[in-house]
A = this chain, B = another copy of it.
Amino acid sequence: MTSEQPKTVKRRNTVQKKLVIDALKRLNCHASAGMILKELQETHPEIGRATVFRVLSAMADDGELQRLKFTDDDDRFDVSLHPHSHIICRCCGKVDDVCFDQNPDLKNHVSDSAGFKVEEITIEFKGLCSSCREKADAN
């Protein structure tokens, strides 16, 4: 939630930045900053908490990563820039891509009582992932 401006300063390719991106890809996928921090601290305990958050935020601001927001969970990051919806497991928090027939002109089907100008529509899916479903069925 910082500036929306495209890079005005030139970014440097630091060791830490590479570590963060590699971890994000390795965790496959949609990891949160906290998940990446935890993962990295096992192999690189010297990496700083602020660094992980900073790298991810900067890259999202620069349009090199997609920041995913959820109502009940931390922000996640996606190496895919293609806009698509996501589903999150209410049990383990795993996030997966979702394809569905989006109503193409949803904005035009919206009306409210106070004259809002609709700018953004976000659809959040919540459910149970296959492995959590199996665990639930086993009980």
Contacting residue for A117 out of B72, B98, B116, B127, CB 8 A: B127
Copies per assembly: 2
Report B-chain residues with C-beta under 8 Å of the C-beta of A113.
96-97
A110 touches B98 (CB 8 A): yes
Report B-chain residues with C-beta under 8 Å of the C-beta of A70.
71
A interface size (C-beta, 8 A): 39
Does A129 have its Cβ within 8 Å of any Cβ on chain B? yes
Bits for A110-130, please: 1 = Cβ < 8 Å to B, else 0: 111111111111111111111
A residues within 8 Å of B by Cβ?
1, 69-72, 87, 89-90, 96-101, 103, 106, 109-130, 133
19 extra A-B contacts, CB within 8 A, seeds A71-B122, A116-B129:
A69-B71, A71-B124, A87-B116, A90-B120, A96-B114, A98-B110, A98-B112, A100-B110, A100-B111, A101-B109, A116-B125, A117-B127, A117-B133, A118-B125, A118-B126, A120-B125, A120-B126, A121-B125, A122-B123
